[in-house]
Structure 1
Amino acid sequence: MGITDKSGTKTYGMLAVTVIGLAAAVALMLLSFLAPQFHSGPEDLPLGVAGTPSAVDRLASALDQRRPGAFDVTAYGSADDVQEAIRDREVIGGIAVAADGAAVYTASGAGNPYGEVLTGVAAGLEDRGSTVTVEDVAPTADDDPSATGLSVLALPLAFGGMISAAVLSFTLKKRHGLRVFGSLAFSLIAGLVIGAILRFGFGTFDADYWALSGVLALGIAATSVFVLGLESLIGYAGLAFGGVLTLFVSNPLSGIATGWQWLPAPWGEFGQLLPIGAAGNAARSVGFFDGASVAHSVWTLVGWIVVGLGLSGLSVLKNRGDHAPGVDAGNSSVPELERREHTAISVV
């Protein structure tokens, strides 16, 4: 008779599941990054336009013919109003039409693709016989005109948040208060270091160093504290879920490299509700727009931190309930005591 090695069969089965699961994870990662990129582009980009009503209507029609569906045009009273709307991050650029020509206003700080699109619009207006000037009203820094430092910011934000949560989870088990303190301390230091590298090392930003470092620290803390809270409540599955949310969802939908308006709707806007997108948008606002429209991103990051603290608090309450008098690892000691008393009576 043959002997079936059940343990060996189980091992091979686990190996097969693991290999297939890892392959699926790699495929999911590739799709999560490629899908937004292939579906990104100019669609309903908020554009400010100033001029007479008839001129604005003609320009809107011309833009729609040249790039159907690319722009969502908003009319403003003057060229100054258009520029102010750009600096307030209400629109990604603008055009002012006058009798002697047109002025195209770009904002390199909003993202490289928008400037390229508007430069193409300016060339099209020139082809139609208009005299066109192009002005960048929210430029990037001279040392890093392409804002390369900002475009790679998603990786340190994601890595900093996840690695700190993982290390603190493994090294400080059940010490929830100390873990949160360590997470916040690390996030603050990491924010200061990353801010210094971008501000003084590579010159990506000319903005206030402390404000920039502050939003970066909030971005790291939002991921770190939230994932710590998940792990404290549901164990290592919380780390796994946090990793998937950070790497496969928050990272590709952040729009850090291009600006979130370039991503397909509604995913670009949804990405701004997640930590990496909110942190990147806050850094862009502080770095190139004097902090305009930064409040929403900051409150979003604070909200993730508060949720993480709440999850850690629930875990503490749950652990206290499990270890309350009369409760031992989920099994009531009262029935055990009754069983012992019944046994003693029976012996007597």
Structure 2
Amino acid sequence: MSPSSLPPHRRIAAVVVLIPVVVALALWAFAWPAARTAPRDLPLGVAGPAAATAPVEQRLERREGAFAVHRYADEAAARDAIEQREVYGAVVVTEQGPRLLTASAASPAVAQLLQEAVARSAAGSGTPVTTVDVVPAAERDPRGAVLNTSVLPLALAGVGAGSAVTLLGLRGIRAVAALAGSAVLVGAVAAALTQSWLEAVPGNWWAVAGTFSLTALAVAAAVAGCAALLGRAGIGVGGLLVVLLGNPFSGASSAPEMLPEPAGAIGQWLPPGAGVSLLRSVSFFDGAAAVGPALTLTWWAALGLGTVLLADALRERTGKAAPASAREPATVG
């Protein structure tokens, strides 16, 4: 039974009930992480002699559950860990006093949080804390606003492509070609705007464009795959999954470790969160820690496109079987 065949009073009731439910879900998905933003096992390094770093570690551990402390022998090892995206920053204990190493490219919000936390912990010693930004954000976008706001447009582009393929009746190879072609163009346009024009996303242009394309393809394939399984209702399911969960759970404006559990972990398994992580890696960190998010996006793209192809193959097989059975002569008993 199609929705249009329902009695008018049932359609009115469906709208009256459905819209508040969607609004409640959207408010929960966006407001809950924002209201509960705080460090949770945030990777932070401590470097220097064990005797000198012990008081620093004790002060950090007083904020129970806030930081996951990693110990390094010296500043060089701590810098390397930051550049490999193992930690967001590190406190280096020197004879001249503590030095904080940060990476605003990994998250400007986390870099600011670390400065405040370390300055607060060192307030009693009377020694000022020197801050060094090891991997800085783009000069034209020091707060990472362009990168953060790119999540929603990419998600909407993917949802739009997946919806268009379904509503236009494209199937099989044609659908896959349309989704892939759309993703390639989305990636090129996004790279042209964010890097060539705004100069907010550095790195290799082709790697940046490829990241945007893979993210858009993962979203579009997920939506088209859901639609291939569930019909047009799958468009809504895929859109809700990507926009209402993937976008706020991505940690783009802060970091996955700043979101309440398990929102941060869920976000990294969805295309928007994986796309942001991959973009940071290829843009600022020479590809460090890029394998995980790249595999996540590839998995979504492959699964979605595979579902589209499989659904078309099953549809053709069913269509061929029906005429064949109709041509079989009736058996006389």
Matches within 5 A, 1:50-69: 50-65=47-62, 67-69=63-65
Deviation track 1:292-337 (CA, whole Å, cap 9, x = no partner) reads 1111111111111110122112202321231124x25xx9538x95
Question: Which of residues 101, 106, 109 in structure 1 aligns to 2:105?
Answer: 109
| Counterpart for residue 207 of structure 1 | 203
2:108/2:142 contact within 8 Å kept: no
Deviation track 1:249-286 (CA, whole Å, cap 9, x = no partner) reads 11111111212221123321221111111111111111
> Quick one: distance in 2 between partners of 1:295 and 1:175?
31
**Amino acid aligned to 1:187:** A
Question: Which of residues 88, 92, 106 in structure 2 aligns to 1:92?
Answer: 88
Question: Which of residues 27, 46, 49 in structure 1 aligns to 2:24?
Answer: 27
**Amino acid aligned to 1:78:** D
Q: Does 1:298 align with 2:291?
A: no
SS of 1:130's equivalent in the other structure is coil
**Amino acid aligned to 2:305:** L
Question: Which of residues 2, 22, 39 in structure 1 aligns to 2:36?
Answer: 39
2:172/2:313 contact within 8 Å kept: no
| Counterpart for residue 3 of structure 1 | none
Question: Which of residues 222, 230, 237 in structure 2 aligns to 1:234?
Answer: 230
Question: Which of residues 334, 338, 343 in structure 1 aligns to 2:330?
Answer: 338
1:47/1:92 contact within 8 Å kept: yes
Question: Which of residues 174, 197, 217 in structure 2 aligns to 1:221?
Answer: 217
Question: What is the CA distance between 1:131 and its match in structure 2?
Answer: 4.3
Question: What is the CA distance between 1:198 and its match in structure 2?
Answer: 0.6
SS of 2:289's equivalent in the other structure is coil
Deviation track 1:61-113 (CA, whole Å, cap 9, x = no partner) reads 11233x34321101011111111101110001101112331110011011122
Question: What is the CA distance between 1:174 and its match in structure 2?
Answer: 4.8
**Amino acid aligned to 2:248:** P
Question: What is the CA distance between 1:127 and its match in structure 2?
Answer: 4.2
SS of 2:214's equivalent in the other structure is helix
| Counterpart for residue 156 of structure 1 | 153
> Quick one: distance in 2 between partners of 1:41 and 1:303?
30
> Quick one: distance in 2 between partners of 1:129 and 1:276?
43
TM-score by length of structure 2 reads 0.93
1:233/1:314 contact within 8 Å kept: no
Question: What is the CA distance between 1:130 and its match in structure 2?
Answer: 2.5
SS of 2:250's equivalent in the other structure is coil
Q: What are structure 1's unaligned runs of at least 5 residues?
A: 1-6, 343-348
1:86/1:93 contact within 8 Å kept: yes
2:119/2:128 contact within 8 Å kept: no
> Quick one: distance in 2 between partners of 1:9 and 1:314?
32
- Max radius of gyration: which structure? 1
How many residue pairs were aligned?
Answer: 329
**Amino acid aligned to 1:273:** W
1:141/1:147 contact within 8 Å kept: yes
1:86/1:107 contact within 8 Å kept: yes
| Counterpart for residue 322 of structure 1 | 318
Question: Which of residues 134, 138, 143 in structure 1 aligns to 2:140?
Answer: 143
> Quick one: distance in 2 between partners of 1:135 and 1:78?
15
| Counterpart for residue 4 of structure 1 | none
Identity of aligned residues (%): 32
Taking structure 1 as reference, are residues 175 and 314 closer, same or farther at Cα in structure 2, changes over 3 Å only?
A: closer
> Quick one: distance in 1 between partners of 2:146 and 2:56?
35
1:226/1:308 contact within 8 Å kept: yes
Q: Does 1:184 align with 2:176?
A: no
Question: Which of residues 252, 258, 263 in structure 1 aligns to 2:254?
Answer: 258
Q: Does 1:78 align with 2:71?
A: no
Question: What is the CA distance between 1:8 and its match in structure 2?
Answer: 12
> Quick one: distance in 1 between partners of 2:250 and 2:144?
16
Q: Does 1:169 align with 2:161?
A: no
TM-score by length of structure 1 reads 0.89
> Quick one: distance in 1 between partners of 2:170 and 2:130?
62
Q: What are structure 2's unaligned runs of at least 5 residues?
A: none
> Quick one: distance in 1 between partners of 2:54 and 2:301?
46
> Quick one: distance in 1 between partners of 2:101 and 2:150?
27
> Quick one: distance in 1 between partners of 2:193 and 2:90?
33
Question: Which of residues 229, 249, 252 in structure 1 aligns to 2:245?
Answer: 249
> Quick one: distance in 1 between partners of 2:21 and 2:261?
26
| Counterpart for residue 272 of structure 1 | 268
2:271/2:296 contact within 8 Å kept: yes
SS of 1:338's equivalent in the other structure is coil
> Quick one: distance in 2 between partners of 1:260 and 1:195?
24
Question: What is the CA distance between 1:233 and its match in structure 2?
Answer: 2.9
**Amino acid aligned to 2:47:** A
> Quick one: distance in 1 between partners of 2:67 and 2:263?
18
